[in-house]
Chain A
Amino acid sequence: MKTARTQKLSRAFLVNSILALIVLLWMIPVIGLFVSSFRQRFDIQTTPWWYIFPHRDWVATKTIDPRQAGLDANGPMTVEGVTATFEEMRAGVEVGNTRLIWIGNRRIGNIQIQKKQWTTTANLSLDNYRQILLQKDVVIKHADGTLETVRSDDFISALLNSLTVSVPATVIPILIAAFAAYGFAWMNFRGKRFWFTLVVALLVVPLQIALVPVLRDFAGLHINGTFLGIWLAHTGFGLPLATYLLYNYISSLPRETLESAFIDGASHFDVFRQLVLPLSVPALASFAIFQFLWVWNDYLVALVILGPDPNTRIVTVNLANIVGDRGQDWHLLTAGAFMSMIIPLIVFFLLQRYFVRGLLAGSVKG
């Protein structure tokens, strides 16, 4: 009979193993990408990424030159006690644990004798990263010693562009929203209720709706395709959420603290700068992470406002371009995808606490 203790242990074991299975399932796509980004172009295209782990595969043990061995490819040939025609050998002849396979064409090809054994194809390098990152042509040395020159995809530029877009597009809406949240929470003015209702109401507007009119305004102002344009757009689209979240936080700050500051003769500006901003750091951080990840990962707004111009192209647009133009170039796509993920992942893991807090507060983007 089971004791309560073993029952508890077995249940914990069950829970942990199901959880581990789910986590593994969730991680496999990313692991595959990560591993592949270090593999050679040819390896990625011909063998699965899990071949870097030991697996059973045909490995060449001996190569026979049929001309030296006096074999005629036009008739049946006998090699190592196996007789087969060229066509059969081309497809591979399996006898037990051995396989004969013709590599190359009929006239100058060779016969390989392969054995099935445990093997790995771990030929990892940073070549893919060099190719997408460096801003000049890259010379890649192949396994057979030949050199190839390839054009770089200039991800460094794209990363800089992404930073240039993301940092102001995060800080500017926070600043504007913090002022507004303070105004709504601690100041009295005509029409306060109306304007605040408008802020909340605008939470529902999908940004798709604003793209065409905003694009027309930008064309009129000649800021289409500029960083200024995209900062303004992200600021506008992010403001309802930012104001709403910060209002919830700032309006719940202790009244006595602020009032004693006013009695000491502090102005609203002083109170905001010296008291409210420092006290609101958790809320500011929550929104900052949320907005930063959102802007960094955004594709639609960047596509519409910045367009495909290489000078202003951000990482998501750069990556999507490679998907579109060269969808089979997995050596570039895997490395590129990983480069596009690295900064958000760092931000995410360092500041996860604040991000979760923001989500719990209802961070839904309109």
Chain B
Amino acid sequence: MATPQQVLKRGPKAVNKVSAWFLRFGLTILIMVIAFFFLYQGFLFLRAGNAPKWVMALAAIVWGVGGIAILYYIFNALVELLSVTWTRRLQPFVFVGPAIAMLLWFLALPTLRTFYLSLFGRNGPPSLPLTLLFTAPREYLTALSTQFVGLGNYIAVFTDRLMLGALRNNILFWIGIATPLTVIAGLLIAVLADRSKFERAAKSLIFMPMAISFVGASVIWNFIYEVNPPGTPQIGLLNAIVVALGGQSHGWTNYVDIAPWNNLFLVIIVVWLQAGYAMVLFSAAIKGIPEEIMEAARVDGASEIQIFFNIMVPQIQGTIIAVTTTIIIFTLKIFDVVWVMTGGQFGTDVIATQFYRQSFINRNSGFGSAIAIVLLVAVIPVMVYNLRQMKEQETFR
């Protein structure tokens, strides 16, 4: 398509083309204005939110999904009206622009802003207009410095008693115990299922907890750990077993006498939830081991255990690392299970529950932000390693 200028040079016949171009341009703008008007009306309607529930739900879905599609369509139509060169230059930004804008708004800039917040006290930097920095820089900086604490929050992260407990739990129980248990359980089930006729059904059922929310899982396990007064029947499975064996019933997750080992009862929940994930990845990896190698080992008289440790494990080493790192990342950020089960009490705090408490309950945004940054810094090396492993696997294509 030609620009209006190019068209004008070509004489009277082109005039029609110019007017046609303007007509289309005008039409696109008109459609855009109408679309924006309706989208805005939809926004107001949804924000007011006083229609019946199902109407709202339906309107919200249509508005959200349809709105985005229309916006792409309009911007693309606008760009395609331009000259070939400009279309080629701008069209990529119609495609990737919205994604980049969202990423900047929701992840990239917040990371920088959280870091900035973490350098200030509990109320954060004073809310002064940024223009003051240019009109009265000295006052602006003085006001900032009153709230500025430098690395004070970071020192607190590593010295505060509750934070130390949270760090211990994350490292000892979640990375140190939950992660290997999940990996071992996943590997064991994958190996067993691989030799069973009921592979599909067994894998489906073990995998099922992945579809359950952490809140739902917490209810399920709270029920298992439920304690009734001594002498009455125990409705919690664990206490029923313990009492039947002659032991004493306890509320296991809040059993502070054995703290910090009461964390193990939370660990079990996460192993139950995540073993299915590990199993699926291991299962795919085991199927990728060439059958000849295994047969050769069997012919040579290797036992199944030797085959497992000397052939299988080295063959799927990459997957083991990928799964382990994925679960480490997950456990570093663990929140829901702990929050719903114990609220972080009884010595079960973790980094993410401390973050939540400091940011949204104690309203100490500086401290909370510092915890979030520490979490990020802890996740980065594991994630980089993980992405590299995943890329080597290339299982998707």
Residues of A within 8 A of B (CB): 12, 15-16, 18-20, 22-23, 26-30, 32-33, 36, 44-50, 157, 160-161, 163-164, 167-168, 171-172, 175-177, 179-180, 182-184, 187-189, 192, 195, 198-200, 202-206, 208-214, 217, 222-223, 226-228, 231-233, 235-237, 239-240, 243, 245, 248-249, 252, 267-269, 272, 283, 293, 296-300, 304, 311-312, 315-316, 319-320, 323, 327, 330, 333-334, 336-337, 340-341, 344-345, 347-349, 352, 355-357, 359-362, 364, 366
Contact = CB atoms under 8 A, between A and B. Distances in A.
Contacts of A214: 105-106, 110
Given A205-B111, A206-B375, A180 B387 contact: no
B211 A348 contact: yes
8 contacts: A22-B188, A23-B206, A164-B57, A168-B61, A179-B96, A239-B102, A348-B208, A366-B383
Interface residues of B, number: 115
Contacts of B72: 175, 179
B208 A323 contact: no
Nearest to A211: B359
Given A208-B352, A210-B111, A320-B340, A349 B65 contact: no
A28 B330 CA distance: 25
A318 B383 CA distance: 33
Could you tell me the dominant secondary structure of chain A's interface residues? helix
B216 A319 contact: yes
**Most chain A CB inside 10 Å of its own CB: which residue of B96, B110, B356, B395:** B96
A292 to B, nearest CB: 10
Interface in B345-395: 352, 355-356, 359-360, 365, 368-369, 372-373, 375-376, 379-380, 383-384, 386-387, 390, 393, 395
A132 to B, nearest CB: 12
Could you tell me the dominant secondary structure of chain B's interface residues? helix
Given A179-B95, A272-B95, A344-B213, 11 more contacts: A29-B221, A46-B233, A175-B69, A212-B369, A214-B110, A233-B106, A240-B103, A269-B91, A316-B213, A348-B210, A359-B281
A218 B192 CA distance: 50
B85 to A, nearest CB: 13
B29 interface: no
Nearest to A327: B222
A29 B111 contact: no
Contacts of B189: 19, 22
Given A217-B105, A323-B219, A330-B223, A176 B99 contact: yes
